Amino acid sequence: MNLGCVAACWLEPNENRWRVSVLDCTKFADGRVSFTGSPEIAKGYNEQREASGQELPGVEFKPIRSVPCDLTYKIMKRPPDGPVFKSRIMEEKWDIYSYDERLFFCRSWTGELIYRAAVKCEPPILKVLMVESSEDLPEKLTVRQVDFLVKSHLMLATALHPLPLELGRDEKKQALHSFGRYGRRGRYGTLEETIGTAYYYESPLAGG
């Protein structure tokens, strides 16, 4: 284990609670600052902080991918209609809304709808049954990304996010990709399967 790493570094299976090879992006993510020189983008981000998302059920959405799935989570209560996660700082990259048994995942800077998920909620169980995506990504990666967003943003848990296989074990490239995708909530990534992996409500310490 590289105890002296100041950016992202790999943790071997015996060095983390998930018992798989994990890229620890914590210090990298916490040290990054997002900013834009575009007044239009800054204005758009600020406007999105007030958005309720109530128009989303009626928005014409033409997904590139529609992927059946069966993701299951334990929850205390049904998510209310409206915003269920709102970015508070520009280093948080997503806003999530709940309407009509669907979750809507939007980029926080632009409000662009990226994922729409059909859900069934009967507390203490929340199920995601279908994921629709505007991105042309492999089906498995699409589901893994939504799975992570549910765990990390809706449930506010520490969870593993999927890393793109094509970037391999390049710490810097993977960390930059993770931050661009998930901001400061993209703390721990893996090249291995993330569906069904544990999520924690406290920071997992190496070797814990």
Give the β-pairing of 188-190 and 160-162.
parallel
Report how far residue 129's alpha carbon sits from residue 155's, in angstroms, rounded to the nearest whole number. Answer: 17
Q: Distance between alpha carbon 67 and the CA centroid of its chain, in Å?
A: 17
Where do the domains of the chain lie? 9-51+59-190
CA distance 14 to 24: 14
Measured in whole angstroms, the distance separating CA 177 from the mean position of its chain's CA atoms is: 12
Query: For residue 124, what are the CA distances in angstroms to 18, 76, 79?
Result: 24, 6, 11
Q: What is the pLDDT of residue 6?
A: 56
**121 has which bridge partners?**
126
Which of helix, strand or coil describes residue 195? coil
- The two structure tokens encoding residue 108: 């926080």
Span 166-189, pLDDT tens digits: 999 999 999 999 999 999 999 999
Span 98-118, average pLDDT = 96
What pLDDT, on the 0 to 100 scale, is given for residue 34?
A: 81
Q: How confident is the model at residue 160 (pLDDT cuts 50, 70, 90)?
A: very high
What are the tens digits of pLDDT across the range 34-55? Answer: 877 788 888 888 999 999 999 9
What pLDDT, in 10s, does the model give residues 55-94? 999 999 999 999 999 999 999 888 899 999 999 998 999 9
Give yes or no for residue 206 having a pLDDT over 70: no
Q: For residue 45, which amino acid is it?
A: Y
